[in-house]
A and B are shown apart, each in its own frame.
Chain A
Amino acid sequence: MQNGLLTIEHLTASFHISDRYYAAVDDVSLTVRPNEILAVVGESGSGKSALALSVMGLHTRARIEGSIRFEGQELTRLPAPKLNRLRGREMGMIFQDPMSALNPLMVIGDQIEEALVLHRSGMSKRERKAKVVELLAKVGIAEPEHAARRYPHELSGGMRQRVVIAIAVANEPKLLIADEPTTALDATIQLQILELIRKLKRDSGAGVILITHDVGIVAEMADRVAVMYAGQIVEIADIHTLLTAPGHPYTRSLLRSIPSADHPKSKLYVIQGVVPSLDRLPRQGCRFRSRIPWIGEGAHEDEPAMHEIAPGHFVRCTCYRHFYFPDEEGTRHGAS
């Protein structure tokens, strides 16, 4: 893949649990291009947040292997001061919980200004103050001069998340990582925040990694999607392909388990079994195997690889070719 803003290759992030290291992110490769929203979707424990934190170099206690290149520059071996300069200037991050991402003892204007002080030493104090007001207005906060003097607790959840976004984009980053940016917010506020992220991408041409468990948000926002299961990417496709012609059994199962307002009252599909915990994960063979036991063992690869089944559409393991839902058994009888 060319024109990568961020290129991740064979990234493994392992955590120490009692006796040894276990990989929460296991051999992940992907590319983020400028001016695209790449959604990383997965359930809890899939490794999607660990992936984001690894890219930002915020996993101080993890063992990181593989390569993360940002505009050609290798991040995994970058000394801390250099990485710090990149973070907050070239790469911005929006965290899930705006209350804990903000300093409760500091007015929000000063918190935004801090990002400017650290990364734009050339700016005068007056310019910085003006920029803070401009940023607050940009993220849709009314009366920005007045709002700049407020403390986080004086703002609603939606407003706080706007402030977090203002900090993340203060230095016009080329890459924005948003980890569940709207999980704590009401539906109408959620829309406004998503619209804001979309607008920032459009205006600045930044690449965005949007991490979420919400397939609805993915459908609304993403240009491309990477689906994660148990630390691995199991499918990558453009959004249209992923929703209309998903390949991997996990993606297909997940899409079938959503209660929809359009097709109500039918029984929801339930994926058998549970996601194994990090230390009990089978490291050999297809990790989704145990959740689809009616598919024969022979359908899986011994070492599941990503297969490009259409241009830009990658699916892990060969089991997708043989997969059917249990209730389709009659119609698919004889399919090998």
Chain B
Amino acid sequence: MALLEVRQLKVHFSGRGGWFSPKTRPVKAVDGIRFEIEEGQTYGLVGESGSGKTTAGRAIIGLLPITDGSVIFQGKDLAASSRKGTIRFNRDIQMVFQDPYSSLNPKKRLLDIVAEPLRNFDRLSAREEKRRVQELLEQVGLSPDAIYKYPHEFSGGQRQRIGIARAIALKPKLIIADEPVSALDLSVQAQVLNFMKDIQKELNLSYLLISHDLGIIRHMCDKIGIMYKGRYVEQGTADELFGNPQHIYTKRLLSAIPLLDPARRDERLRYREAVRQQYERDYARYFDAEGLAYPLKPVSGTHEAALPEKG
């Protein structure tokens, strides 16, 4: 059984009009997506801005209400309580945010930042708590003496590791990481990504990695889902999606990856132009009248794509 099973997840925002305009149609930010994450694996959610990938992540962890569908985590449906309006937080699911500058409270010491989840869920004595925070800091490669320091005393990469220390404080099973390195410089990015992989092995963590960067997705993920306007256009293993993309949108996204080989620059430009033309020609075939993707159809055992009705 998968650790997390997301079934027909829908997150709609009711389109309340302004003073003068009547109620508008709801915004279907996430409109029926389905995926599973196995224990110890990394699942990548890819899409451009407005695709709904961040909304999906936030709904799964409980930061946004779920409109419909189910989120089954370790056999329990988390969406049921969400629909009743009660906030549901699960200590086994934690989150790492995009911006390490704004996701850490500048007025709090590291001790208080990292201990916050412990204080919410565990009852530790002050001494135990301090020891646990020191352990966690050591685990993310920071000095245990740093507990009385403030976030501004750390670099971007160190701050993101503080964010990870907070996320792993409760020994979760699943971490939702929303663009965890996009605010970081290249060399720091590498450090955080390596670290995320190390700690995954060590703690047998699963990741839901949300990113627009296909290089990072390829580097990190076992399975990948590609979103467009709230729906999936394609899902499969990393090799399937990168090696044998089926949907025109996936192809276009992949063709946009910069190539680090200037000798093939012209060839790449020509290929990209060909894909763009195909995209424009076939858009109406691959998307319905509202510009939304069709339901997924199986391509192979693990590979699915939102292919048009015929062909």
Contacts and interface: CB of A to CB of B under 8 A. Distances in A.
Interface of A: 43-44, 157, 186-188, 190-191, 213-217, 219-220, 239-240, 243, 253-255, 257-261, 264-265, 267-271, 274
A289 to B, nearest CB: 16
B45 to A, nearest CB: 15
B193 interface: yes
Given A188-B253, A259-B193, A215 B262 contact: no
| Chain B interface bracket (under 10, 10 to 19, 20 to 34, 35 or more) | 35 or more
B48 A186 contact: yes
B253 A269 contact: no
Question: Quick one: which of B155, B189, B213, B258 has the most chain A CB within 10 A?
Answer: B258
A97 to B, nearest CB: 14
Which of A187, A190, A214, A260 counts the most chain B CB atoms within 10 A?
A187
Interface stretch (B28-36, B57-65, B118-126, B214-222): B214-222
A27 B79 CA distance: 60
B297 interface: no
A264 B215 CA distance: 8
Interface string B13-42: 000000000000000000000000000000
A218 B220 CA distance: 24
A274 B216 CA distance: 22
Given A44-B185, A186-B49, A213-B186, A219 B259 contact: yes
Top 4 A-B pairs, shortest CB-CB distance: A216-B258, A259-B219, A268-B190, A257-B190
Contacts, number: 101
A262 to B, nearest CB: 8
A254 B219 contact: no
Given A215-B186, A239-B262, A261 B215 contact: yes
Given A219-B261, A267-B194, A270-B194, A257 B219 contact: no
A243 B261 contact: yes
Contacts of B260: 215-216, 219, 243, 255, 258, 260
Contacts of B261: 219, 243
B218 A264 contact: yes
A254 B252 CA distance: 27
A49 to B, nearest CB: 13
A261 B218 contact: yes
Interface of B: 48-49, 155-157, 185-191, 193-194, 197, 212-216, 218-220, 238, 242, 252-254, 256-263, 265, 268, 272
A133 B160 CA distance: 46
Contact of B186 (A43, A191, A274): A43
A269 B190 contact: yes
Nearest to A260: B215
Nearest to A186: B48
Nearest to A274: B155
Contacts of B256: 187-188, 190-191
A220 B266 CA distance: 9
Nearest to A257: B190
A215 B213 CA distance: 13
A271 B186 CA distance: 10
A261 B257 contact: yes
Contact of B212 (A187, A258, A264): A187
